[in-house]
A and B are shown apart, each in its own frame.
Chain A
Amino acid sequence: MTSITKPRVVHPGLAKNELGLTTRSYEGAMSTLCAGCGHDSVTAALVEALWSLSIEPHRVGKMSGIGCSSKTPGYFLEQSHGFNSVHGRMPAVATGANAANRELTYIGVSGDGDSLSIGLGQMCHAIRRNLNLLYLIENNGVYGLTKGQFSASADIGTKSKRGVPNLQAPIDPVHLGLSIGATFVARGFSGDKTQLVPILTAGIRHKGLALVDIISPCVTFNDHQGSTKSYQHTRDHFRPATEAALLDPPDMVEEMATINVGPIPPGQFRDVSLHDGSVVRFRAMHEEYDPTDRGTAAALVRRLQDRGEIPTGLLFVDPDAGDHHDVMNTVEEPLWSLPFEDLCPGSEVLSDMMARFR
């Protein structure tokens, strides 16, 4: 067998979460991605986020499409069901699974090829439905498994490994998400776990689709000089636009009383309550910023990108939007688990109904 089982190593000193589990319980099989791949860092951040939220591992659904990023559901949460489906179709599979069982925490792992080319339509429609899903785009600007073709997120002028520049404009998932109504938009960097983990925890808690674009360099095909998705380029241009932390439970009651409603002056913070009572604390890093105002968020991202910077952080959140189940007005219980008696109207109803067709 070609898959690699990870050896179980017990570290007695590892911290335990509320369930009494260490991060080991949130890990999966050994990664078969290239050494140094950004995706493995994202996997590690996910493990930490899920552990810190004390989510029961088997109550998570791991969804993916096809590509390097889509392999990663094998590398975390060994005790969770996962579905490595077909290219670009993760959103549809996740939509169906979520319709059948709304109680699970769904994590969709996708990439720039999977989401911004073949799966662009499905991604947009999942956003439109505000599917309750953490939607990760592990974005490296290239197709790795087919040996380094540019993807739709490659910037104009970025150079391939052979030095050929990309001439087509990129599709930017952050701009796209903000413009079509995503209710949670963030950008992270696989090389900055400190920033990424709080984004992921908030995204998991967000009721609705949390779109997280993560610059995750491809060490084999897109980590050279001239690439705008390399570790070096990302580090040089990385610009935290906001700092966000998930407060759960909200423990800073006193400070919460000082919440301001408008833009946050640089260095100050603002708390935004999520549907389950937990709170996201935003701190604007440099400019005045309103994390609940779509227009301001979009303008800030645009302004920073025009300056050649890569704005990162939890950029926008609308904590009050209803998710897909609210729109469908479905019952609280998972549909799959409803007893048959509640679903089948029975023989009398059918025989009465026949009168309507006579």
Chain B
Amino acid sequence: MIREAPARVSGGGTGAGRRGKADGRSATGVRSGRGVNDFALKIATVNGTGSASANGLIMKSIFRMGAPVSGKNVFPSNIQGLPTWYEIRINAQGHVARTPGFDVLVAMNGETYERDIAEVAEGGWLLYDSSWPLARELRREDVNHIGVPLAEMCVKRFEGSRIRILMKNIAYAGALAALLDIDLDVIRGLLEETFGARKRHLLEANNTAIDLGHNYVTERYDCPLPIRVARPAGDELSWEGRILMDGNTAAALGCIYAGATVASWYPITPSTSLVDAFGKFAGSMRKDPDSGRMRAAIIQAEDELAAAGMTVGAGWAGARAFTATSGPGISLMSEFVGLAYYAEVPSVFFDIQRVGPSTGMPTRTQQCDLLLCAYASHGDTRHICLYPGDPAECFDFAVRAFDVADRFQTPVFVVSDLDVGMNDWAVPPLQWDPAYGPDRGKIKSAEELDRMDRFFRYLDVDGDGIAWRTIPGEHPLGAHLTRGSGHTKYGTYTEDAEGYTEVVDRISEKIESSAPVLPEPVMESVPGAEMALVTVGGCEGAVREAMDRLGNSGLHFNYMRVRGFPFAESVREFLAEQKRVFVVEQNRDGQLRSLLTTETGVAGASLEPVLYYGGLPMSAVHVVDGVLARLGAGPAGSPAPARTGAVA
């Protein structure tokens, strides 16, 4: 029994371009339009109820239709019972960075109704479970209400409480398919792939639930809505042929392909899925076909201290080894990072950043470890960092990290974040060059040692700042005592100024010499532009979208995204050429800006921070508002930072 008779609403809505303050966006930051392949959708549910499957189903169906799309999972640090959201954005121009304010909202969590409903854009649509009436005070005059008795339909149709809860989610997916014109065949195909012949009963249940939702809204509402999904036609931008992958999965695959054999780790959100994926891939790709034994060791350590120590120990013994963690783990690992830096042990550290300081917000994203990773540990240290901007780069940079670590005999950080690491991104398929061979750097083999009279681990015989190393157990001549205490170029203990200085100076030059071989910055020069936007990591989408919008207002910018540290000379040159530079990043204190100022010698006053650090992925609105605030505030060097930390 449907308790609330829904009025038949016309989907005509309020037309494109109308935006008020209700959607949380400023006039300048607003998207260009709303319509076919241009809208944002948010689904509010309770975690632990199986809504992830339904959300993934919708996301992947849209993706398979070729429309440029992204999905952002906004989840709590909790196992069951707390609010969770999934946001999908479709944009024909390919601008799929997160955007605040939603055209369609699926409100499945009574606990968050009030705030969720407030996020619907004026003239937007609210899909809710009408098994219970929506409180009068929650209704908004400027929003179209679509009530679907999801719980009631599923209680009638299915037996058992668990399946009823699960299918309620699949039913809203069916309703959305009708409203947004998502191809039902694509949905059914995905369900078939997921459940197939093995779980026939689940396949049937899912298909039934899809029909329940689909049929209900088709019978009662004008479907599809004016905002809807369409397969890109003709010269429209299509993302067909891309893959949908998260950065942690891609990085794990990179570790497999790079030949990493030892992974040590301690569980921590949001890095856990990287090692989980490595384990899964290793299970199929690293099993010795004859013995069934593993060609990889995966060690769940007792803490991050031990995880780092195992990585360093394995690197010392000759393996390609890595650990994956997040900011709190890097804090603990810093002791070993310093040892590996000074003792010159190749090792790879993945930092999937989350909101700090301290425990911070474990399930929210930030770029707050840029300085920590660059200079981790006590003493004078400086580390090679790679900054992937999407999952494709996570794969590539994982492989490069091992090459660089081996070549420069030092710890290397792959600095990713929760948004890049855990959200599904539509990227071009990963590719592998069959000609690739690992760069193991300067290792003296047993045969070479056999022909030598003397070997000194830290002696720079080639004048390139990189000394030869040896693998333990290979040859007596290669033996030496590796230590974190003061040592000379001959590897002997020292407390002598000259002997100590000589080695640390060489290490400093060695690290500096890595800059030209690290991933080069992405740069784009716009004719006539005298200002630039500079960013790092997963902010690229938001910044490019902001550049488009600012360009429409006649404000043109050059663009640079740094991808490696130490910075290449080209980074300094780019900065020096600009009249004003806005450094866009996701932390409170402008860490990339600090790093650029410290490391390039470009005056800090000419680098102006544009920051968002509220924990959700960066949006174009943050960039546009931040830049306009700075431009309105006057010339470069004005003291007030453009901070939008509190704005979602």
Interface members, chain A 124-144 (any B CB < 8 Å): 124-125
Q: How far does the alpha carbon of A57 sit from the alpha carbon of B296 in the complex, in Å?
A: 27
**Quick check: A358 and B64 within 8 Å, CB to CB?**
yes
B141-149, B283-291, B579-587: which lies at the A interface? B283-291
Q: How far does the alpha carbon of A342 sit from the alpha carbon of B285 in the complex, in Å?
A: 9
Number of A-B contacts (CB under 8 A): 238
**Quick check: A351 and B317 within 8 Å, CB to CB?**
no
User: Which of chain A's residues have a CB closer than 8 A to the CB of B557?
Assistant: none
**Quick check: B310 and A350 within 8 Å, CB to CB?**
no
**Quick check: A336 and B479 within 8 Å, CB to CB?**
no
Query: Which A residue's beta carbon lies closest to that of B492?
Result: A3
- Closest CB in chain A relative to B295 CB, distance in Å: 6
Contact with B317, one of A57, A100, A358 (Cβ below 8 angstroms):
A100
Contact A344/B259 with A95-B313, A96-B310 known, Cβ cut-off 8 Å: yes
B73-81, B424-432, B529-537, B609-617: which lies at the A interface? B424-432
**Quick check: B473 and A81 within 8 Å, CB to CB?**
yes
Task: Count chain B residues whose beta carbon lies closer than 8 angstroms to a beta carbon of A.
Answer: 79
- Closest CB in chain A relative to B468 CB, distance in Å: 14
Q: How far does the alpha carbon of A74 sit from the alpha carbon of B258 in the complex, in Å?
A: 34
Q: How far does the alpha carbon of A349 sit from the alpha carbon of B434 in the complex, in Å?
A: 11
Query: Which A residue's beta carbon lies closest to that of B260?
Result: A343
Contact with A100, one of B64, B314, B431 (Cβ below 8 angstroms):
B314
User: Which of chain A's residues have a CB closer than 8 A to the CB of B482?
Assistant: 81-85
- Closest CB in chain B relative to A73 CB, distance in Å: 6
Contact with A125, one of B302, B308, B432, B479 (Cβ below 8 angstroms):
B302
**Quick check: A345 and B484 within 8 Å, CB to CB?**
no
Query: What 1/0 mask marks residues of chain A from 95 to 128 whose CB sits below 8 Å from any chain B CB?
Result: 1111111011000000000000000011011000
Q: How far does the alpha carbon of A84 sit from the alpha carbon of B310 in the complex, in Å?
A: 14
Query: Which A residue's beta carbon lies closest to that of B302?
Result: A125
Q: How far does the alpha carbon of A281 sit from the alpha carbon of B490 in the complex, in Å?
A: 45
Contact A58/B261 with A92-B306, A101-B473, A350-B432 known, Cβ cut-off 8 Å: no
**A86 at the A/B interface (Cβ < 8 Å)?**
yes
Q: How far does the alpha carbon of A354 sit from the alpha carbon of B245 in the complex, in Å?
A: 10
User: Which of chain A's residues have a CB closer than 8 A to the CB of B480?
Assistant: 81-82
Contact A1/B488 with A92-B309, A96-B316, A350-B257 known, Cβ cut-off 8 Å: yes
Contact with A335, one of B258, B296, B312 (Cβ below 8 angstroms):
B296
**A258 at the A/B interface (Cβ < 8 Å)?**
no
User: Which of chain B's residues have a CB closer than 8 A to the CB of A345?
Assistant: 256-257, 285
- Closest CB in chain A relative to B362 CB, distance in Å: 23
**B496 at the A/B interface (Cβ < 8 Å)?**
yes
User: Which of chain B's residues have a CB closer than 8 A to the CB of A92?
Assistant: 301, 305-310, 313
Q: How far does the alpha carbon of A99 sit from the alpha carbon of B307 in the complex, in Å?
A: 12
- Closest CB in chain A relative to B398 CB, distance in Å: 13
**B515 at the A/B interface (Cβ < 8 Å)?**
no
User: Which of chain B's residues have a CB closer than 8 A to the CB of A93?
Assistant: 309-310, 312-313, 316
- Closest CB in chain A relative to B103 CB, distance in Å: 27
A207-215, A261-269, A323-331: which lies at the B interface? A323-331
**Quick check: B243 and A85 within 8 Å, CB to CB?**
no
- Closest CB in chain B relative to A204 CB, distance in Å: 15
Query: What 1/0 mask marks residues of chain A from 63 to 97 whose CB sits below 8 Å from any chain B CB?
Result: 10000000001100111111111100101111111
**Quick check: A2 and B495 within 8 Å, CB to CB?**
yes
- Closest CB in chain A relative to B333 CB, distance in Å: 11
Query: What 1/0 mask marks residues of chain A from 285 to 307 whose CB sits below 8 Å from any chain B CB?
Result: 00000000000000000000000
User: Which of chain B's residues have a CB closer than 8 A to the CB of A99?
Assistant: 262, 264, 297, 299, 310, 313-314, 317, 319, 321
User: Which of chain B's residues have a CB closer than 8 A to the CB of A89?
Assistant: 305-306, 309, 335-336
**Quick check: B295 and A338 within 8 Å, CB to CB?**
yes
**Quick check: A2 and B493 within 8 Å, CB to CB?**
yes
**Quick check: B319 and A1 within 8 Å, CB to CB?**
no
**A146 at the A/B interface (Cβ < 8 Å)?**
no
- Closest CB in chain A relative to B498 CB, distance in Å: 10
Contact A104/B285 with A74-B481, A82-B482, A92-B309 known, Cβ cut-off 8 Å: no
**Quick check: B479 and A96 within 8 Å, CB to CB?**
no
**Most chain A CB inside 10 Å of its own CB: which residue of B429, B433, B488:** B429
Q: How far does the alpha carbon of A123 sit from the alpha carbon of B468 in the complex, in Å?
A: 32
User: Which of chain A's residues have a CB closer than 8 A to the CB of B335?
Assistant: 86, 89
**Quick check: B264 and A96 within 8 Å, CB to CB?**
yes
Query: Which B residue's beta carbon lies closest to that of A56?
Result: B476
**Quick check: A83 and B316 within 8 Å, CB to CB?**
yes
**A61 at the A/B interface (Cβ < 8 Å)?**
yes
**Most chain B CB inside 10 Å of its own CB: which residue of A344, A346, A357:** A357
- Closest CB in chain B relative to A81 CB, distance in Å: 3
**Quick check: A74 and B306 within 8 Å, CB to CB?**
no
- Closest CB in chain B relative to A346 CB, distance in Å: 7
**A59 at the A/B interface (Cβ < 8 Å)?**
yes
Q: How far does the alpha carbon of A335 sit from the alpha carbon of B438 in the complex, in Å?
A: 15
**Quick check: B496 and A1 within 8 Å, CB to CB?**
yes
**Quick check: B313 and A100 within 8 Å, CB to CB?**
yes
**Quick check: B261 and A57 within 8 Å, CB to CB?**
no
Q: How far does the alpha carbon of A348 sit from the alpha carbon of B358 in the complex, in Å?
A: 43
Q: How far does the alpha carbon of A358 sit from the alpha carbon of B186 in the complex, in Å?
A: 12
**Quick check: B317 and A97 within 8 Å, CB to CB?**
yes
13 contacts between A and B (CB under 8 A): A81-B473, A83-B483, A84-B482, A92-B310, A96-B299, A100-B317, A121-B303, A331-B291, A335-B297, A340-B438, A343-B256, A354-B243, A354-B429
Q: A91-B306, A97-B317, A100-B297 are in contact. List 16 more A-B contacts (CB 8 A).
A: A61-B317, A73-B481, A82-B480, A85-B312, A85-B313, A85-B484, A93-B312, A93-B313, A99-B313, A104-B317, A335-B261, A345-B256, A346-B434, A347-B431, A347-B432, A357-B429
Top 9 nearest A-B pairs by Cβ distance?
Answer: A96-B313, A92-B309, A81-B472, A336-B318, A100-B319, A96-B310, A100-B317, A96-B314, A93-B313
